[in-house]
Amino acid sequence: MKRSRRGGYWVFLLPSALLFTAVVVVPFLMNVGIGFTRWQGIGAPKWIGLDNYTRLLADERFWASFRNNVALIVAMAIIPTIIGLVLAATLFDHVGKKFGPRTAGALRAAYYLPQVLPVAVAGIVWGWIMHPRFGALNELLGLLGMEPRNWLGDPSWALPSVMAIMVWFQIGYPVVIFMAGLQRVDPALYEAAETDGASWWRRFWHITITQIRPEIYVVLLTCTIAALKVFGPIFVLTRGGPGGATLVPSYFSYQNFFEKANVGYGSAIATVLTLLIIMVTVFFLRIQDRES
Amino acid sequence: MIRKYSVLVSLVVLAVVMLVPFVVVTLNAVKSPADYSSGGPLSLPGELYLDGIVRFWNRVDFGGKLWNSLLISGSVAVLAVVLSVLNAYALGIGRVRGRVWILVAFLMANTLPQEALVYPLYYLSKQVGLYDTRLGVIIIFTVIQSAFGTYLLSSVLSRFPPEILEAAALDGAGRWRALWQVVVPISRPTLSVLLVFFFIWTWNEFFLPLVFLISNDNQTVPVALGVLQGDKMMDATMSSASALLGILPAVVFFLIFQRTLTRGVTVGAIK
């Protein structure tokens, strides 16, 4: 059977087209639709137009969940990127050259290790360490003469504690990506700057940052999206508590879906979250486009 | 001289801080409850005590959870690679019409939050009898992972040397044979990176498996451990044992796949 050189390849897309329709397209459209209804998950959904969205705008918990999410973007994207840049540049430029690539590699592996954990397991590890009764953190602080705290149970400490855990979890990722990016930087650039007497900070600022800008964008984008989707650590550590102190949109929608049977409201939250993620993605792709 | 070492020392101190949680959890997982109550969480265990781990293992049937995780992650990895290859063959080599939009659709599917799919999937899977089955979770993650795989592999295959395909066509190979006997073997390195990533990403998933796998017999490792958090029956050493059992498989995979992972980590950065 002879067919034209092109054409006919679409057959290979068929299995995916079917599965995608069933698993992504239809559920996504259903979710958007359910967002316009009041529904308990059983019986017929009742169409209420934009009511869920007007309710969202007036819901203090909804706004609180986004404020907490901004805090998690700081903890999961911004702080790790800054620390990751300094660490990667130091490992590459200083440790790698003066103490050998093996030392740099070992340190990189140590920073990266938390990243291999399922994020829920990372939460379990820290839930144990921060446990008010038997955790190691309070014991350690006691030895240093500081007072113990209920890190995850105290409304004013819960969010900072979760943030600290997420910084620990995330740091290794930018370090590895940035070090890989630095591989392609021409060493002559550094040598020239060094002979010109540029300080380490100047070289860091003018060479490292500008040369690995694409990697910085990728890390910021992927980590921001990960922060917007964060669920596992919140579920494991605080369930959004105490008193909503660590509530995030993802967990807020889960609560409405499966604990309160407010399926319509949960769908509206999920739709808003989707829009937000699309906006962030488009924003980053735009900047990247303009740069190149 | 002092400066030279002060930077190294601070980096090493940071590395130690990063590793301390692993050490503390391990120390307490192999400590007897009596040892713990006399020495606290920071003491070294007086003797190697594995009873806590064994008791926890048996109580949650950890072997069963490991098997579920392996079965789900392994199946998803293989199936998602197959699906990605089929798509990428049509998009990257076949250059079917509208491929840019199809790729954008895959990319969108990859960034969608699972929260925006979860309730309809929950509802539909109940209708077709796939709720609370491992097969249901396998199907869902096969599609989600292949969205990323298609995107990545299409750009790799669009640079596939056409001479090789022409030679295969001259030998009388049809499209199907050209795919399995020419394209797949030559793309093996990329495919193996994808396979490892899909496996680990699926292993680490929490949200959808938590919703879908409610019965004990179907749960994966992270879900089983996550659901048990805050269980009143668990004392300090047993909680520690549970955390260690969550850490161990992840670290083992990391060690096994380290070379593939470091080769491909920048590839994964796009996700």
Give chain A's mean pLDDT: 90
pLDDT at residue B265 greater than cutoff 60: no
- Cβ distance of A118 and B89 shorter than 8 Å: no
- Cβ distance of B206 and A235 shorter than 8 Å: yes
- B91, B179, B243: residue with CB nearest A124: B243
SS3 per-residue string spanning B39-54: HCCCCCCCCCCCHHHH
Q: What is the mean pLDDT of residues A120-142?
A: 89
- A10-27 residue pLDDT tens: 899 999 999 999 999 999
| Residue A11: C-alpha distances to residues A7, A14, B8, B89 (Å) | 9, 5, 57, 10
Q: Please give the pLDDT value at position B39.
A: 81
- B119-136 residue pLDDT tens: 999 999 999 999 999 999
Q: For residue B260, what pLDDT band results from cuts at 50, 70 and 90?
A: confident
Q: Please give the pLDDT value at position B7.
A: 87
Q: Please give the pLDDT value at position A1.
A: 37
Query: Which amino acid, residue B37?
Result: S
Query: Which amino acid, residue B187?
Result: S
Q: Which helix (H) or strand (E) holds A180?
A: helix A172-182
- A146-187 residue pLDDT tens: 888 899 999 999 999 999 999 999 999 999 999 988 888 888
- A20-69 residue pLDDT tens: 999 999 999 999 999 999 999 888 999 999 999 999 999 999 999 999 99
Q: Please give the pLDDT value at position A7.
A: 61
pLDDT at residue B269 greater than cutoff 70: no
- B83-105 residue pLDDT tens: 999 999 999 998 888 889 999 89
| Residue A211: C-alpha distances to residues A4, A215, B264 (Å) | 46, 9, 21
Q: What is the mean pLDDT of residues A119-140?
A: 90
pLDDT at residue B27 greater than cutoff 60: yes
In DSSP terms, A90 is beta-bridged to none
Helices A172-182 + A213-228 axis angle, to 10: 160
Q: What is the DSSP string of A32-94?
A: HHHTTEE--SSS--EE-TTHHHHHHHH-HHHHHHHHHHHHHHIIIIIHHHHHHHHHHHHIIII
* Contact status, residue B113 vs residue A228, Cβ threshold 8 Å: yes
Question: What ipTM, to 2 d.p.?
Answer: 0.90
| Residue A43: C-alpha distances to residues A270, B122, B125, B144 (Å) | 21, 15, 17, 30
Rg of chain B (C-alpha set): 23
B261/A105 Cα distance (integer angstroms): 14
Q: Which of A134, A204, A254, A280 to mutate to test the interface with B (most CBs of B within 10 A)?
A: A134
Q: Please give the pLDDT value at position A214.
A: 87
Closest chain A residue by Cα to residue B271: A222
Token pair in block for residue B51: 């009873």
Helices A155-170 + A172-182 axis angle, to 10: 30
Q: What is the mean pLDDT of residues B225-229?
A: 87
